[in-house]
Amino acid sequence: MEIRRVRPDEWEACRTLRLRALAGDPDAFGGILEGASVRTDSEWRARIDAPERPSFVAVADDGRFVGTAGGRPVAERPGTAGLYGMWVAPEARRHGIGSALIDAVEGWARSAGYTSIGLGVTMTNPSAIRLYERKGYVDIGERHPLRETTDLTIQIMGKTL
């Protein structure tokens, strides 16, 4: 298994993985399948090719992308990076991929000069919450709706880098 930053020419594989994630685990993301499905090729390319918003993937031995996570600045919290869009394919779970993807995003954040990192996790996903806690994230007490079209709530977790 390899964890690495996505290359710009891999935007189609990233699109496929993201659409699979949104279809398989819709309650884990603020975005929805219907919105992502209508993005143009140019929008997908731009999403992958944004230096300040890196995307990382877990690549299986056969070359398939089986996990993803991204980083980006948190505009309302100077000095804080965000961990976004993390997902591991069901067949690849429980093998340390989620932990390795978190490490990759945290490594980017440190090298970019961020002093803390945060994320939002759906409160109905206890296994994800436990993973983040094992990685040192703590619940900072903030709650927000996952998105307008659902009653689900996310908790905000953070950690000092």
Give the angle subtended at the CA of 155 by the CAs of 150 and 158, to the nearest 5°: 145
- Determine the residue type at 40: T
Residue 86 has pLDDT above 90, yes or no: yes
Q: What is the pLDDT of residue 31?
A: 94
Q: What is the pLDDT of residue 50?
A: 86
| 30 pLDDT tier (thresholds 50, 70, 90) | very high
* Domains of the chain, first to last: 2-160 (3.40.630.30)
Q: How far apart, in whole angstroms, are the C-alpha atoms of residue 1 and residue 92?
A: 10
Residue 149 has pLDDT above 90, yes or no: no
Average model confidence (pLDDT) across the chain: 96
- Residue 95: DSSP 8-state: S
Phi and psi at residue 92, in whole multiples of 5°?
A: -110, 0
Residue 29 has pLDDT above 90, yes or no: yes
| 152 pLDDT tier (thresholds 50, 70, 90) | very high
Q: What digits encode the pLDDT tens for the residues 97-122?
A: 999 999 999 999 999 999 999 999 99
